[in-house]
């Protein structure tokens, strides 16, 4: 059975605090008629610190889409390999042991994908399958887990590498003054994450079932308006209400697996904001503390898009995981409105023979 191993996560060295964000909003938008509302919404996100790939002075500039995308490519190539190496080490594997790379990102564009560069630069086999995914936004982390699970189900002896690379700060648009845009300026951060799904062996979550769901007629609730200046983030005020229709979907997936979604041992979900987590706690009837890993990511890193789920999972691992066969749910939510959901059990049993063979 495929096992999702411990993720490796890295955030950039440039830090912006909540106080910095509020001060910048006041100085840059002093005449905005809805500034008090924007400040209140930013404070309510619970985000205390975020990490940026550039100093804030550079982040606030807009040299053009071409220049920003060049920064995205350079930063991805500079930062992703170290994270991938740590993820491989945690899984007890080498690049040559990987048969597929699932790469998710919604904050820059490369063709060929970064997967091609990684194969050449890090010694992956030339016949490694490439699965780049660009348009699922914050749901991308859950999607990557599910596609890696599908791949390892089809090829039980294979291993898949997941990489999430998000530099949300490169999407800052100084001319976008809507409340949704001002809120996003205080919500999103930058981060890189990677994890391995092993077809055999490993410590982590044994993946048992996955599913996807699209809430009908919500495709314009979270979107990019792509212009000459790049990606302009569009956020509908109805987005925070999406857990009410999605909670029954999560319940149905668990019921089809013979589980009760309200009685699982752990929950790893995308933290788009505190309202998402509060509502999910309410509608799934689970204690708020069930989402402590997601809340910690939101507080310390902000919304790092597709990397959120992997960072919350990393925190779960760092706490010691759970008892063997503990049941859990992993879910990512994003544009569509799309939900990507996974059910699995914790397994702490290492396949020692496989690890030793991989190390030879």
Q: Which residues are catalytic?
A: 138
Tokens matching residue 134 = 């660009």
How far apart are the C-alpha atoms of 349 and 206, rounded to whole Å? 11
How many C-beta atoms lie closer than 10 Å to residue 353's C-beta? Answer: 10
User: What ranges make up the beta strands (E) of 135-291?
Assistant: 159-167, 190-198, 204-218, 222-227, 230-235, 266-269
Query: Hunting for tokens 């979270």 — which residue is that?
Result: 222
Q: If you ran DSSP here, which 8-state letter would residue 188 be given?
A: B
3-state secondary structure of 263: helix
Distance from chain centroid for Cα 200? 24
Is the distance from CB of 145 to CB of 163 less than 8 angstroms?
A: no
Residues 6+ apart with CB under 8 A from 295: 46, 271, 274, 277
- Burial of 228 by CB count in 10 Å (0-12 exposed, 13-18 middle, 19+ buried)? exposed
Residues 6+ apart with CB under 8 A from 24: 56, 60
């Amino acid at each position: 059975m495929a096992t999702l191993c411990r993720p490796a996560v890295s955030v950039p060295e440039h830090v912006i605090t909540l106080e910095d964000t509020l001060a910048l909003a006041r100085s840059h938008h002093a005449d905005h008629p809805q500034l008090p509302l924007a400040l209140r919404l930013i404070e309510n996100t619970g985000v205390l610190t975020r990490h940026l790939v550039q100093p804030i002075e550079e982040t606030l500039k807009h040299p053009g889409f071409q220049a920003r995308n060049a920064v995205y490519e350079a930063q991805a190539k500079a930062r992703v390999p170290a994270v991938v190496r740590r993820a491989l080490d945690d899984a007890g594997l080498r690049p040559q042991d990987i048969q597929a790379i699932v790469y998710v990102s919604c904050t820059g564009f490369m063709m060929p994908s970064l997967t091609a560069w990684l194969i050449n630069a890090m010694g992956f086999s030339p016949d490694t399958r490439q699965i780049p995914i660009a348009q699922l936004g914050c749901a991308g982390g859950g999607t990557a887990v599910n596609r890696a699970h599908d791949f390892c189900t089809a090829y039980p002896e294979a291993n898949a590498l997941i990489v999430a690379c998000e530099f949300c700060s490169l999407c800052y648009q100084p001319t976008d003054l809507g409340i949704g845009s001002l809120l996003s300026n205080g919500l999103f951060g930058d981060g890189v994450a990677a994890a391995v799904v092993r077809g055999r062996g490993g410590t982590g979550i044994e993946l048992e079932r996955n599913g996807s769901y699209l809430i009908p007629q919500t495709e314009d609730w979270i979107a990019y308006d792509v212009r000459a200046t790049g990606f302009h983030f569009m956020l509908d005020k109805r987005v925070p209400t999406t857990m009410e229709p999605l909670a029954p979907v999560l319940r149905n997936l668990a019921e089809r697996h013979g589980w009760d979604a309200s009685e699982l041992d752990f929950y790893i979900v995308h933290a788009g904001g505190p309202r998402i987590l509060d509502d999910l706690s309410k509608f799934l009837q689970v204690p708020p503390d069930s989402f402590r890993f997601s809340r910690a990511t939101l507080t310390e890193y902000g919304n790092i898009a597709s990397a959120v789920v992997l960072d919350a999972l990393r925190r779960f691992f760092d706490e010691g995981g759970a008892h063997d066969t503990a049941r859990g749910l992993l879910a990512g939510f994003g544009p569509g409105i799309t939900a990507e959901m996974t059910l699995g059990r914790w397994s702490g049993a290492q396949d020692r023979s496989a690890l030793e063979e991989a190390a030879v």
